[in-house]
């Protein structure tokens, strides 16, 4: 008896979910919520402050001397000898 009753409620639950999620009201509610969320995000991004910096990140820093020094260092096994 319990199995039959649980099966009935399960089928009822699936039917309710299927009809609700395929209905026009659900689609309208979801579209409205998406639009509201999008508007909130746009308003929030407009209020954000832009961080100003004096550095120019596009300038190239030549690190070739640093890498040359690293390559000229003796290896570990040579130091042991």
Per residue, the 3-state secondary structure of 31-49, as one string, reads: HHHHHHHHHHHHHHHHHCC
Report the Cα–Cα distance between both ends of the chain, in Å, rounded: 87
| Alpha carbon of residue 19 to chain centroid | 32
**75 lies in a domain?**
no
Q: How far apart are CA 74 and CA 4, in angstroms?
A: 81
Whether residue 4 lies inside any domain: the answer is yes
- pLDDT on residue 10: 96
Domain that holds residue 32: 1-51
Is residue 39, in this structure, part of any structural domain at all? yes
Number of domains in the chain: 1
Answer yes or no: is 20 within a domain.
yes
Within a domain: 33: yes
Asked whether residue 31 is assigned to any structural domain, the reply reads yes
Q: Is residue 28 part of a domain?
A: yes
In a domain, 35, yes or no: yes
pLDDT single digits (tens) 10-58? 999 999 888 888 888 888 988 999 999 999 999 998 888 887 777 777 7
């Amino acid at each position: 008896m319990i199995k039959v009753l649980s099966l009935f409620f399960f089928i009822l639950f699936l039917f309710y979910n299927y009809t609700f999620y395929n209905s026009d009201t659900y689609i309208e509610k979801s579209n409205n919520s998406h639009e509201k969320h999008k508007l909130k995000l746009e308003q929030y991004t407009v209020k954000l402050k832009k961080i100003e910096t004096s550095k120019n990140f596009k300038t190239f820093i030549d690190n070739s001397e640093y890498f040359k020094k690293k390559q000229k260092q003796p290896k570990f096994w040579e130091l042991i000898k």
